[in-house]
Amino acid sequence: MRVLVLHSHPLDESYGRALYRQTCESLEKAGHEVDGCNLYAEGFDPVLSARDRSIYHTYPDNTDLVKPYVERLRQAEALVIVTPVWNFGFPAMLKGYFDRVWLPGVSFRLEDGRLTPTLRHIRKLSAVMTYGATPMRAFLAGNPPKKIVTRVLRAQIKLGAPVKYLAHYDMNNCTEQTRAAFLERVKTEMERF
């Protein structure tokens, strides 16, 4: 499958980047065609400007400034997100990607107030997430990033597509062993993606 891997971590030497590298490498090893999208490295601009907002509903003009990203999304048959959790959401870089690229005419059609998802060609979705919080703290906070992946994004891709949410919680108390074990889990999951 052609897999779009979205990644947002500013530091090359971070654990998050190691997870991204492992994800891409293991997917490739399994024979997938990987489109690695490291948003910081690509200098993606996540800010939805006044101009962007004013033409937000005007397809295809709304895609003018993000055309290559729209093309990559349209070519994707599967999607993997590799990101840390910041303020119980996606980092602004990744949030901005969704705001600016998953546009009317791209991820959905809006006709007479009726919304139709248009990313049904995406047949599989996975997320590789890291949290500072424990699973209990994340649960008590409502775990918004988990809901975004397993409910919001799931609803926009192929109906019934498999969705997997892999998370290393409690990074505030992680050890070399917990990091290695999660990296190994990501490797295994991506090799049989």
Task: Give residues in contact with ligand FMN (CB under 6 A).
Answer: 9, 14-16, 84-88, 130-133, 138, 171
Q: Which is nearer to ligand FMN, 117 or 144 (CB)?
A: 144
Shortest Cβ 17–ligand FMN spacing (Å): 7
CA neighbor of 129 nearest in space, from 172, 165, 178, 180: 165
Shortest Cβ 141–ligand FMN spacing (Å): 7
Shortest Cβ 129–ligand FMN spacing (Å): 8
3-class secondary-structure state, position 90? coil
Q: Which is nearer to ligand FMN, 13 or 111 (CB)?
A: 13
Shortest Cβ 71–ligand FMN spacing (Å): 29
**Can you give 113-171 as a three-state secondary structure string?**
CEEEECCCCCCCEEEEEECCCCHHHHHHCCCHHHHHHHHHHHHHCCCCCCEEEEEECCH
* Total residue count of the chain as it appears in this document: 193
Q: Which is nearer to ligand FMN, 9 or 100 (CB)?
A: 9
